[in-house]
Amino acid sequence: MRLGTTFRSVAVTAFVLAAAGSATAQSNGTAGAAGTAGATGQLGFERHPQLSPQDELTQATTIIARMDQASGTVRRQLEGARAARDVVKTLCLNDKLSQIDVATRSAKDRQTALQAAAQRNDRELSNHEFTILTVLGQRAQQLTAEANQCIGEEVAFVGQTQVVTEVDPNLPGEDNTQYPPGDTTLISGPPVCTSCTQ
């Protein structure tokens, strides 16, 4: 019940904001995607400039070089963790390196498909392959950042934990709470579910 109410309020808020943005764009006389949104009733999206297939190939080579570099960096960190016999850090870095290697292999496959699309001058397919390759490159960057946050045993476990409890000597020794005389407040249980018993 509460989820449905929350969903409706979010939907109404999104609709009001979209309508306000469209009205603002119309009142300002803004041209382009936002200006046509009011005239056609459709919300426009800004298109990013598209690269030529040859430029995409150049960018793809750069992305894969960065991915290989990230893989080498994490591999060196893994070798250092293994040399230090840090099991926790080794497991974490090994997982991140495996994911980076999978993303790199997939990106190289996409680069091959991008080269084939560029040779056929298939702009739509080359844009598709380049987009996927870009996402894989971003994933490798994210995994590298996560690998840099892998915590080893020496950091996670700094020593034995010791708990010290101090009791304030000014506290009373016993519970002197008294209920007011004549308090007849009734506390009842929750209501019975009538549909549950049928």
pLDDT given at position 53? 78
pLDDT given at position 183? 60
Contacts of 51 (CB under 8 A, 6+ apart): 59, 130
pLDDT given at position 166? 87
Dmax over CA atoms of the chain, in Å, equals 93
pLDDT given at position 184? 63
Extract the residue ranges of the chain whose pLDDT is less than 50: 1, 3, 16, 20, 22-38, 43-47, 156
Q: How far apart are CA 141 and CA 75, in angstroms?
A: 14
How far is CA 107 from each of CA 41, 85, 99, 135, 176, rounded to the nearest angstrom?
Answer: 39, 32, 12, 9, 72
pTM: 0.53
Contacts of 64 (CB under 8 A, 6+ apart): 104, 107, 108, 111, 133, 137
Per residue in 151-176, pLDDT tens?
776 554 556 778 888 888 887 777 77
Q: How far apart are CA 12 and CA 38, in angstroms?
A: 19
Contacts of 81 (CB under 8 A, 6+ apart): 89, 90, 93, 150, 152
Q: How far apart are CA 156 and CA 137, in angstroms?
A: 30
Per residue in 14-32, pLDDT tens?
554 555 454 444 444 444 4
pLDDT given at position 140? 93
Q: For 70-107, give one letter per residue: b (16+ CB within 10 A) or e.
A: bbeebbebbeebeeeebebbbebbbebbebbbebbeeb
Domain residue ranges in the chain = 2-40, 53-153
pLDDT given at position 93? 94
pLDDT given at position 198? 58
Contacts of 70 (CB under 8 A, 6+ apart): 100, 140, 141, 143, 144
Q: How far apart are CA 111 and CA 137, in angstroms?
A: 12
Helix, strand, coil percent content, the chain, rounded in steps of 5:
65, 0, 35
